[in-house]
A = this chain, B = another copy of it.
Amino acid sequence: MFLSARISSASKSPIQSKTLITLLPIFRRLSTAAVPPMEVSASEETLRGNLAEKRAAVDAQAEAVRKLKAEGAENSEINAAVDTLKALKVEASAVSRRLQAVLSSNGGGATDREAFRQAVVNTLERRLFYVASFKIYRGVAGLYDYGPPGCAVKSNVLAFWRQHFVLEENMLEVDCPCVTPEIVLKASGHVEKFTDLMVKDEKTGTCYRADHLLKDYCKDKLEKDLSLSTEKFTEMKHVLAVLDDLSAEELGAKLKEYGITAPDTKNPLSDPYPFNLMFQTSIGPSGLSPGYMRPETAQGIFVNFKDLYYYNGNRLPFAAAQIGQAFRNEISPRQGLLRVREFTLAEIEHFVDPKDKSHAKFVDVAGLEFLMFPRELQLAVSFSLLQGIVNNETLGYFIGRVYLFLTHLGIDKERLRFRQHLLNEMAHYAVDCWDAEIECSYGWIECVGIADRSAYDLRAHTEKSGVPLVAHEKYPEPIEVEKLLITPSKKELGLAFKGNQKMITEALEAMTEAEALDMKAALESKGEIEFQVCNLGKSVSIKKNMVSISIEKKKEHQRVFTPSVIEPSFGIGRIIYCLFEHCFYTRPSKSEDEQLNVFRFPPLVAPIKCTVFPLIKNEKFDETAKIISKSLTAAGISHIIDITGTSIGKRYARTDEIGVPFAITVDSTTSVTIRDRDSKDQIRVSIDEVALVVKEVADGQSTWADIMWRFPTHSA
Binding site for B on A (CB under 8 A): 128, 131, 133-137, 140-141, 143-148, 150-152, 154-155, 159, 162, 167-168, 170, 172-181, 183-184, 198, 205-207, 275, 279-286, 289, 291, 293, 300, 303-304, 306-308, 311, 313, 325, 327, 329, 331, 341-342, 461, 464-465, 467, 469, 633, 638, 640, 644
Contact = CB atoms under 8 A, between A and B. Distances in A.
A136 B179 contact: no
A341 B280 contact: no
A146 B175 CA distance: 5
Given A281-B281, A293-B281, A131 B307 contact: yes
B134 A146 contact: no
A177 B133 contact: yes
Nearest to A468: B136
Given A168-B633, A178-B342, 12 more contacts: A136-B306, A141-B284, A143-B177, A147-B172, A151-B173, A152-B173, A167-B633, A177-B341, A178-B327, A198-B285, A280-B281, A282-B329
Contacts of A172: 147-148
B151 A181 contact: no
Given A134-B184, A162-B155, A168-B633, A285 B175 contact: no
A183, A184, A205, A307 interface centre (most CB from chain B within 10 Å): A307
Which 9 residue pairs of A and B lie closest in terms of their CB atoms, listed nearest first? A136-B465, A146-B175, A207-B285, A136-B467, A148-B172, A177-B342, A145-B176, A279-B281, A151-B173
A685 B117 CA distance: 57
B155 A174 contact: no
Contacts of A128: 307-308, 311
B286 A145 contact: no
Contacts of A327: 178-179
Contacts of A313: 644
Q: Give the copy number.
A: 2
Contacts of A307: 128, 131, 135, 147
A465 to B, nearest CB: 4
A316 to B, nearest CB: 16
A284 B207 contact: yes
A167 B156 CA distance: 13
Interface of A is mostly: mixed
B300 A145 contact: yes
A327 B282 CA distance: 12
A207 B640 CA distance: 53
Nearest to A279: B281
Nearest to A159: B159
A131 B554 CA distance: 38
A325 B178 contact: yes
A308 B177 contact: no
11 contacts: A134-B181, A134-B183, A135-B303, A135-B307, A136-B303, A136-B465, A140-B179, A147-B174, A152-B173, A281-B293, A285-B329
B280 A145 contact: no
Contact of A279 (B179, B303, B331): B179
Nearest to A152: B173
A465 B329 CA distance: 25
Contacts of A279: 179, 281-283, 291
A132 B342 CA distance: 25
A163 B307 CA distance: 33
B147 A308 contact: yes
Contact of A341 (B140, B179, B207, B644): B179
Contacts of A206: 286
B329 A136 contact: no
Contacts of A289: 140
Nearest to A278: B281
A615 to B, nearest CB: 20
A307 to B, nearest CB: 6
B174 A146 contact: yes
Contacts of A285: 198, 207, 275, 329, 331
A178 B184 CA distance: 21
Nearest to A324: B325
A152, A170, A281 interface centre (most CB from chain B within 10 Å): A281
Contacts of A136: 303, 306, 461, 465, 467, 469
Contacts of A145: 174-177, 300, 304
Nearest to A205: B286
A464 B348 CA distance: 43
A133 B176 contact: yes
Given A143-B177, A285-B207, A293-B281, A183 B137 contact: yes
A183 B464 CA distance: 39
Contacts of A180: 134
A286 B178 contact: no
Nearest to A170: B640
A638 B169 CA distance: 11
Contacts of A170: 640
A143 B283 CA distance: 10
Contact of A154 (B143, B175, B464, B467): B175
